[in-house]
Amino acid sequence: MPIHNRTLAVLFAILVFYPVDHVWADELYVAFWNVENLFDTIDDPAVEGDEEFTPQGPKQWTIERFNIKVRNLARVLSDANGGRGPDILGLAEVENRQVVQSLADALSKLGRKYRILHRDSPSGRGIDCAILYDSERVQLRESRFLPVAARATREIVEARFEFLGSTFHLFVNHWPSKGNPESARIEAATILRRRVDGLLRADERAQIVVIGDLNELPNEPAVAKTLKTWGDPKSLYSKVLFNSTWRLHNDAKRGTYVYKDRWEVIDHVIISQGLLDDRNLRWKAGSTVPLQNDYQMFHPRSGIPRPSRSYSGNSFHADGFSDHLPIVCILEQVQVK
């Protein structure tokens, strides 16, 4: 028997005696990035906190500087996903729809059909969350914006997407900073958890992805207790969410943000148990990682390398990106044979 025929025979035997139960049909690349103060250059009279990001403000925020920052952000995103860019991108610290559109325009070379989900939130600084999604990869079926009680903070953006016949819910968050009391983040976590519980009551296997800058570590109260998350997918109680960033949190040399010369994980990817089985869509094991290219990093004379930010005080850095690293994960569409 010629060698190529023997090879075919072996392959046939493998398929007969070890049938393939699942075929991974496609992958969805989901990213989140706190892009650090992506403001336009125009003073919004309805917002008190945006004056510093104007040409006349202390940061001398000009259209030239704005364009530099957008190009820098687009460089990182264009390099992601093997040069294809994200299928879905959650954003934090964007001032309005116009700046998100500028970022989408800067990504036009990717050939994507990006659409925007955004609305102005009551943030006192005038910054919001938003979603940029490729309408040829996913279909937006429903959206809503969850206000965080009466606080002047960012709303949580919720989207229900369909991908190859599977439906999943995505939540994009930017919780109150550590400059606020813990109760402020517990308030945000309570609003989100209430909505998650509603989805799980309707379908205990609901496919849910929570991404965002939660301004807490995975083991801190609002994330771990109020939102009810845990880091071991094999030991989850009913309705507890899997925080896929725990592994990153346990690595002292990695993270998404540097504080006091130490890496921290405050940008999260949290998923429901409905994305841990082999039904339709699932989180790809080990896929949650920060995007960290060397050109994104600032290497100080002393201390650890850290994300290269756009401003230090009022000093602009033309080679800066954001004080956060993006964080990404992959969702796999599985077909059961």
Query: Does any domain span residue 10?
Result: no
Alpha carbon 68 to its chain's center: 22
Query: Does any domain span residue 7?
Result: no
Query: Does any domain span residue 152?
Result: yes
Q: For residue 226, give Cα distances in angstroms to 138, 171, 267.
A: 30, 16, 17
Q: What is the pLDDT of residues 7-58, one digit of tens each?
A: 444 334 333 333 444 444 599 999 999 999 999 999 988 887 789 999 999 9
Query: Does any domain span residue 47?
Result: yes
Query: Does any domain span residue 207?
Result: yes
Q: Range of 127's domain?
A: 20-336
pLDDT along the chain (337 residues), means of 10: 43 38 72 98 86 94 98 98 98 97 98 97 90 98 90 90 96 95 95 98 97 98 98 95 97 96 98 92 97 97 96 97 98 77
Give how many domains the chain has, as a whole number: 1
pLDDT value of residue 17: 38
Tell me 296's DSSP state: G
Query: Does any domain span residue 277?
Result: yes
Tell me 314's DSSP state: T
What CATH number did the domain enclosing 307 receive? 3.60.10.10
pLDDT value of residue 25: 59
Query: Does any domain span residue 237?
Result: yes
Contact criterion met (CB below 8 Å) for 40 and 313? no
Q: What is the pLDDT of residues 215-257, one digit of tens each?
A: 999 999 999 999 999 999 999 999 999 999 999 999 999 999 9
Query: Does any domain span residue 286?
Result: yes
Contact criterion met (CB below 8 Å) for 1 and 9? yes
Phi, psi of 92 (to 5 degrees): -130, 155
What is the token pair recorded at 120?
């102005």
Biggest CA–CA distance in the chain, Å, is: 82
